[in-house]
Amino acid sequence: MRRLQAQAWERLVAQLQPNWYGGGLSDQSRCNQNENATPEEKWRDIQGAHGLWSMYENAQVMLDMADFAARNSDSVDPELLAALRNDVTQIRVCVLAAIAEQACSQVNEGASASVSRAASIYAGMVARTAEVLQVNVESLAPSFACTM
């Protein structure tokens, strides 16, 4: 059973876009500095559509990881899982809006707001996922941390 769980976990980790954390999105000074950035600077910082799509895909994988932790532990907070599900939905809406806005014109304030919102939610989701894994499936948390 442990071997099967380890294989399932390895498959989840392999699905993450490696080393894509959005250039220090959770760093408070970076967030404050980013508020004054132009839409083009925000787009560049987030690595454009590629970075947004990485957030889109990684958000679902992180939710799958939290679900994995919930299946393998009795102590996962259901409210935390609900918050992660909400994060995934919000990230997907923001990412799709930013990509659509960018495709229709040059990067503008609307796309910039969507990029900022997606990045902020994503940074929080990474932190909450790490917390769920650390508390509930401690042996798996290092592989998540190394990937992110």
* Per-residue pLDDT reduced to its tens digit, 67-95: 988 888 888 888 988 999 999 999 999 99
pLDDT at 111 over 90: no
Q: Where are the domains of the chain?
A: 23-147
What's the pLDDT score for residue 147?
A: 62
What's the pLDDT score for residue 59?
A: 92
Give 46's contacts (C-beta < 8 A, 6+ positions apart): 22, 23, 52, 115, 118, 119
Confidence of residue 96 (pLDDT cuts 50, 70, 90): very high
The tokens for 105 are 């014109």
| 111 or 66: which leads in pLDDT | 66
pLDDT at 18 over 90: no
pLDDT at 55 over 80: yes
Mean pLDDT estimate for the chain: 79
What's the pLDDT score for residue 92?
A: 94
pTM above 0.85, yes or no: no
Residue 144 contacts residue 129 (beta carbons within 8 Å) = yes
pLDDT at 26 over 50: no
